[in-house]
């Protein structure tokens, strides 16, 4: 792909972490080659989607600056419209940006995306209409989002999430899950259930499962059922080593339609945002998003 030259629409969340300094850096970086950069800031939840739907057609590409929620509002609004989207990390977790290999520093991220490539990426879609690019999950990852104190998020960023996630994993709080994938049902006790579109977590530090691809027209169910904190650590070690040999406490299924039911009902998250309680119904939208990625190699 040749260097993008604009014009660009930059949708920014002013409430995001270090928003003011990041916004100034993003405008400078995107406009460094003389490109027109029009900035619109969001005022409320859902506003990023409204802005993107109304204005994106007038631009060569749309960039987001904020957290995962802002990014996925725009991605969902532009699904299927063929408009390239660049995600500039500006939130606390930045899970989607990390999964895409986008640098966290604003200027580096903008430069990498302007010189990068366009990938067509599958999306998961909830019955509410909300889309996700990385994963939807219940259990440990949803408690991580719910239980991390706001002041920790502001001061520590992703480290705060990691601490809460480790603490929740070691507690091994279980629930009964009934997961149906394209008509096949898995039922067991679990501590975490994810429907994933990307296998890599935290810039490839951990890989959730074998063969999880962002553009294969499918999503992947990952069910983790450790019986103790020690077994939870063992599962984490296997994922760090990318060891996907069969294990009694791990189950994988690939498919296009999913229903997750839990007893008792559990909080659910999608790309770092709480989206309600189970049951959750999900379907894949194959290659629905066009995302700007850093060039590899």
261/268 Cα distance (integer angstroms)? 11
* First-to-last C-alpha distance (Å) of the chain: 14
CB 96 within 8 Å of CB 136: no
**Once rounded to an integer, what is the mean pLDDT over residues 264-293?**
95
CA gyration radius, the chain: 19
- Which residue from 18, 12, 3, 74 is spatially nearest to 38, judged by alpha carbons? 12
For the domain made up of 8-115, give the CATH fold: Rossmann fold (3.40.50)
Question: Cα dist. 156→58, 91, 101, 148, 232 in Å?
Answer: 38, 12, 21, 11, 24
178/186 Cα distance (integer angstroms)? 6
Q: 132-286: which CATH architecture?
A: Sandwich (2.60)
Instruction: Give residue 94's pLDDT band: very low, low, confident or very high (50, 70, 90).
Output: confident
What residue spans define the domains of the chain?
A: 8-115, 132-286
Do the domains at 8-115 and 132-286 have one common CATH topology?
A: no
pLDDT of 3 over the 60 cut: yes
239 vs 177, residue with greater confidence = 177
Predicted pLDDT of residue 206: 78
pTM, entire model: 0.88
- Which residue from 55, 63, 73 is spatially nearest to 27, judged by alpha carbons? 63
Predicted pLDDT of residue 61: 96
CB 190 within 8 Å of CB 168: no
**Once rounded to an integer, what is the mean pLDDT over residues 135-148?**
87
- Which residue from 9, 108, 1 is spatially nearest to 55, judged by alpha carbons? 9
Give residue-wise pLDDT tens across range 284-296. Answer: 999 999 999 998 7
């Amino acid at each position: 792909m040749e260097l993008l030259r604009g014009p660009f629409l930059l949708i920014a969340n002013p409430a995001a972490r270090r928003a003011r300094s990041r916004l100034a850096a993003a405008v400078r970086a995107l406009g460094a080659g003389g490109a027109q950069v029009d900035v619109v800031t969001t005022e409320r939840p859902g506003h990023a989607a409204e802005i993107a739907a109304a204005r994106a057609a007038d631009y060569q590409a749309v960039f987001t600056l904020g957290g995962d929620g802002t990014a996925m509002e725009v991605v969902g609004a532009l699904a299927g419209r063929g408009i390239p989207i660049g995600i500039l990390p500006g939130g606390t977790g930045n899970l989607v940006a990390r999964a895409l290999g986008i640098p966290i520093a604003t200027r580096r991220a903008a430069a990498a995306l302007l010189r990068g490539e366009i990938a067509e990426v599958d999306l998961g879609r909830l019955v509410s209409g909300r889309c996700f690019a990385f994963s939807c999950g219940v259990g440990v990852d949803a408690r991580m989002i719910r239980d991390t104190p706001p002041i920790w998020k502001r001061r520590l960023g992703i480290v705060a999430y990691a601490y809460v996630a480790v603490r929740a994993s070691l507690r091994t709080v279980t629930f009964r899950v009934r997961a149906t994938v394209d008509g096949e049902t898995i039922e067991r006790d679990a501590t975490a259930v994810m429907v994933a579109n990307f296998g890599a977590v935290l810039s490839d530090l951990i890989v959730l499962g074998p063969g999880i691809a962002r553009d294969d027209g499918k999503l992947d169910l990952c069910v983790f059922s450790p019986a103790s904190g020690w077994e939870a650590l063992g599962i984490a070690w296997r994922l760090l080593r990318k060891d996907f040999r069969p294990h009694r406490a791990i189950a994988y299924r690939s498919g296009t339609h999913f229903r997750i039911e839990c007893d008792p009902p559990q909080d659910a998250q999608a790309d770092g945002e709480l989206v309600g309680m189970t049951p959750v119904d999900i379907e894949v939208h194959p290659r629905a998003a066009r995302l700007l990625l850093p060039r590899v190699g």
